[in-house]
Amino acid sequence: MKFPKFSQWKQIFKILKGTERTIFITLAVIVLASFAYLAIDLYIKNTKEAPAFGGTYIEGIVGQPRFINPIYGETNDVDRMLIDLIYSGLMTYDKDGKIVNDLVKSYQISDDGKTYSFQLKDNLYWQDGAPLTADDIVYTIETIQNSDYKSPLRANWIDVDIEKTSDKTFTLSLQVPYNSFLENSTVKIIPKHIWQNIVPENFALSSYNLQPIGSGPYMVSGLDQTNSGFIKNITLKSSSKYYNKAPYISNMSFQFFGSKDDLIKAVNQKTIDGFSLTYLDNDEVLAEKNIQQGWSQNEKFNVYSFLLPRYFAVFFNTQKSKILSDSNITKALNYSVNK
């Protein structure tokens, strides 16, 4: 059987009669629609949505950064947020709040629970290109332990000895076993080559506290500060030196405000993409009342909740207080606190 040529197909409407032409067109449409449906169905079944790299996210914050420095900043929510983006620790938390490796490739705990041996990953670099080694780990821990630097983290590291065994290995030794010690190992590491020549009394005054050099997924790309010292915004960009997978969001900008009213104004003007409800007393009703962006009655802004791997505790010094040495008193205080 000989298949018609294209020139012959073009004459088909001259050959077909009225009813035949209608039937032919109908069948052609059905065939084309079926082919399109099968093609779309095949595409949907064999593909899935995936995030793309790029873009910019702008977040509004009430407050000011002071020390984007792990030695000092862990007690300030604004500083801690920026520290988590710019620096890396020995260990970190995954999306489920579990402790996982960060800078370290592996670790071993001795049978008596007193010695932790760590091995760093290969090809670790600071954001200025300098290599990250065990010397940086030793320097960070010893700086925290040194009372001259007045680090609020010092109490966690007083009875810990650190020893470098090679450029990529080191040990941390405890006087007594501590099951939650890996929680302490999430502390972020600072670069020795940047900080070693800065004396303790000038540590808190250094410009590196606001323009830090870290080893995390983001690095500072811009700082906008007024003549009075108020920081208007800090911009971050994805770091090409980061050892792990690059973050999907390439650029992040943090806009700082002096009050929640200024934050609400910025939200209504749509100059920021997100903010924390903590600035509005964690009150969604209050947020909806104050934020007027023209959405319909059934439309609301998206609220995302995250579990933070931290807790707050009160420790009683029963050796210095006779009252607190009474277990009934401490139990009463425990029951009286609304948790």
Q: Strand 249-257 relative to strand 104-109: parallel, antiparallel, unpaired?
A: unpaired
E strand map for 127-248: 160-164, 169-174, 218-225, 231-238
* Tens digit of each residue's pLDDT, the chain (339 residues): 666 666 666 666 667 677 777 777 788 889 888 888 888 888 888 888 888 889 999 999 999 999 999 999 878 889 999 999 999 999 999 888 889 999 999 999 999 999 999 999 999 999 999 999 999 999 999 999 999 999 999 998 998 999 999 999 999 999 988 888 999 999 999 999 999 999 999 999 999 999 999 999 999 999 999 998 899 999 999 999 999 989 999 999 999 999 989 998 898 888 898 898 888 888 877 787 777 765 555 656 777 777 766 667 777 777 778 888 888 988 898 888 887
- Classify burial at 109, counting beta carbons within 10 Å of its beta carbon; exposed 0-12, middle 13-18, buried 19 or more: middle
Residues near 112 by Cβ (< 8 Å), separated by ≥ 6? Answer: 177
Please tell me the pTM assigned to this model. Answer: 0.78
Residues near 109 by Cβ (< 8 Å), separated by ≥ 6? Answer: 115, 116, 117
Domain boundaries, the chain: 14-45, 54-290
- For the chain, how many residues are written? 339
Which CATH code, of 3.30.1330.40, 3.60.15.10, 3.40.190.10, 3.90.1300.10, is assigned to 54-290? 3.40.190.10
